[in-house]
Amino acid sequence: MTRPPRPDAAADGVAGVAAAAPDWDALAAAARPCVACPELAATRQQVVVGEAPAGHRPRFALVGEAPGATEDQTGRPFVGRSGQLLDQLLAEAGLDRAQAAVLNVVKCRPPGNRTPRAPEVARCSGWLRRQLELLDPPVVVALGLSAAKWFLGPRTVLATARGRAHDVDGRAVWATYHPSAAIRFGPAGAPRAGLLADLTAVAAALP
């Protein structure tokens, strides 16, 4: 028997607080003490809000899944092993991280780096939605399946969605492999080549 969807008070709460944030700093200050997900709030070191260029609109946004251990310790997105490979591939593709917003679908590290659960993604979505409104990046690169699904829908398959821009609310959204997949399959593996090819295509298509 299917139950009707139950409104999630915590998700509504996040969405309301996020929507009321007038700017990036206010949003970050509101997100840092967030405890909408009881398990994540109890096990994380800190909320990893994300980063954005100071004083100007980002040329593009990178959106990952959730912080890992290094991000949880430092409070910065994509600074661990995945982040180091991402930096290397961005440089190879001719993209400048300093011009990018670096965000995640879920702002708290899931224990053991498990995939964030649907209710966690739903709760945290208010923060990301408002970040995108405030920063207004013309181009988004969704790294990995969690981010790809957030933008393109739950049925998204990376292998078929990647390699081109999708129009989402007037933004060009590219979905590609997560750098952790590129690490897992190794330097000669398909995900590393695919991620580099997609980032190179993004660089060529940037407005």
State the amino acid at position 28 in one-letter form: A
Residues within the interface to ligand URA (CB under 6 A): 64-68, 71, 77-78, 80, 82-83, 104
User: Which entry of ligand SF4, ligand URA, none binds 17, CB below 5 to 8 A by partner kind?
Assistant: none
Phi, psi of 104 (to 5 degrees): -135, 155
> Shortest Cβ distance from residue 46 to ligand URA (Å)?
13
Cα-Cα-Cα-Cα torsion 178, 154, 6, 8, nearest 10 degrees, comes to 30
- Dihedral sign computed on CA atoms, order 138, 136, 72, 151: negative
Beta bridge partners of 104: 64
User: Which entry of ligand SF4, ligand URA, none binds 47, CB below 5 to 8 A by partner kind?
Assistant: ligand SF4
> Shortest Cβ distance from residue 197 to ligand URA (Å)?
20
Residues within the interface to ligand SF4 (CB under 6 A): 14, 31, 34-37, 40-41, 47, 106-108, 120, 123-124
Q: Which is nearer to ligand SF4, 59 or 149 (CB)?
A: 149
Q: Which is nearer to ligand SF4, 66 or 172 (CB)?
A: 66
As a whole number of angstroms, the distance between CA 151 and CA 169 comes to 10
Q: Which is nearer to ligand URA, 13 or 46 (CB)?
A: 46
Q: Which is nearer to ligand SF4, 121 or 148 (CB)?
A: 121
User: Residues 7, 13, 51, CA angle at the centre, nearest 5°?
Assistant: 125
> Shortest Cβ distance from residue 26 to ligand SF4 (Å)?
15
Alpha carbons within 13 angstroms on the beta-carbon side of residue 159 total 1
